[in-house]
Amino acid sequence: MSTRTAFDKAAADGRAALVGYLPAGFPDVAGGIDALRAMVEAGCDVIEVGLPYSDPVMDGPTIQAAAQQALDRGVRTADVLRTVEAVAATGTPTVVMTYWNPVESYGRASGRGSGRSGVERFARDLHAAGGAGLITPDLTPDSAPAWIAAADELNLDKVFLVAPSSTDARVELTVAASRGFVYATAVMGVTGARTTTSDLAGPLVARTKAAAERLGSDLPVGVGLGVSNGAQAAEVAAKGGIGADGVIVGSAFVRTLLDHPDDRAAGLRALTALTEDLAGGVRRA
């Protein structure tokens, strides 16, 4: 199921979509699945499953810590796909957020899938698991012909990123190449929860929507900028404010679980409470 379905449903309800992120395998594979299902039940409209990677140059310390825990426990791409399958079974559109190297090299070590590239194999296995597509933070559309071809063959979402530093031409190129939604990362620097929203977000959303209009598209714009509570989510989603079609939250969810390392039940309760607060925020907006 495409993420666009969730964005359209939220828009029909007069609100933004809530997009929630956790890395697969954190705190372990089964615990991560339980956490993501709890987020769905508490109000997340779209789920991002992170693929833990050993060189996460765009991630802040919170997400790096969680991803490293997963890697230390031996999580593999197969576990990521298993997590996607379990979450997608709830009927919630589920995408993988990943750096590009693990996709490009997928299956190479085992020699599996002879005759197909790693990108093609990853796309087919993601599709088979019920995944909606990929968010690719370090891959630009002009460097992505293999992924675009594989995604188009299977109708998978291609979620590329725009940033405040993106030129208008770059924004338009990104919007044209994206499917599902476009990811506006409205804070310069690495990821992480913040106490205030960025004053760069509103202009970036406006430029992205203007580019879509020039292309005759109504592609939704999801905004990620370190939202950590319902009040911030409302500000990002407000039509008179930043005006995002989706509010993307990652570090705040990860931090909630990191704060409860020895009590899984308490961590899930706290995660549910945070999700409900954020879901209330996008609805208040």
Q: Is 104 in the active site?
A: no
pLDDT grade for 225, boundaries at 50, 70 and 90:
confident
Q: Indicate whether 267 pLDDT > 60.
A: yes
For the beta sheet containing 17-23, the strands, ordered from the edge strand earlier in sequence to the opposite edge, are: 157-159, 133-135, 94-97, 46-50, 17-23, 246-249, 221-224, 182-185, 161-162
Q: CB-side exposure of 190: number of CA atoms within 13 Å? A: 12
Q: Are 21 and 48 contacting, i.e. CB atoms less than 8 angstroms apart?
A: yes
pLDDT grade for 187, boundaries at 50, 70 and 90:
low
Token pair in block for residue 192: 């992480």
Q: Indicate whether 192 pLDDT > 50.
A: no
Q: Are 182 and 222 contacting, i.e. CB atoms less than 8 angstroms apart?
A: yes
Task: Kindly report the pTM of this predicted structure.
Answer: 0.93
**If you average pLDDT over residues 255-277, what whole number do you get?**
97
Q: Is 48 in the active site?
A: yes
Distant-in-sequence, close-in-space partners of 8: CB < 8 Å, separation ≥ 6: none
Q: Which of 8, 45, 48, 199 is catalytic?
A: 48
DSSP bridge partners of 179: 158
Domain count, the chain: 1
Q: Which of 28, 34, 45, 59 is catalytic?
A: 59
What local confidence, expressed as pLDDT, does residue 57 receive?
67
What local confidence, expressed as pLDDT, does residue 195 receive?
44
What does the alpha-carbon distance between residue 25 and residue 32 come to, in Å, rounded to a whole number?
6
pLDDT grade for 191, boundaries at 50, 70 and 90:
very low
pLDDT digit string (tens) for 236-247?
A: 999 878 999 999
Maximum C-alpha span of the chain: 53
> Residue 89 belongs to what domain range?
3-7+16-284
CATH at residue 225: 3.20.20.70
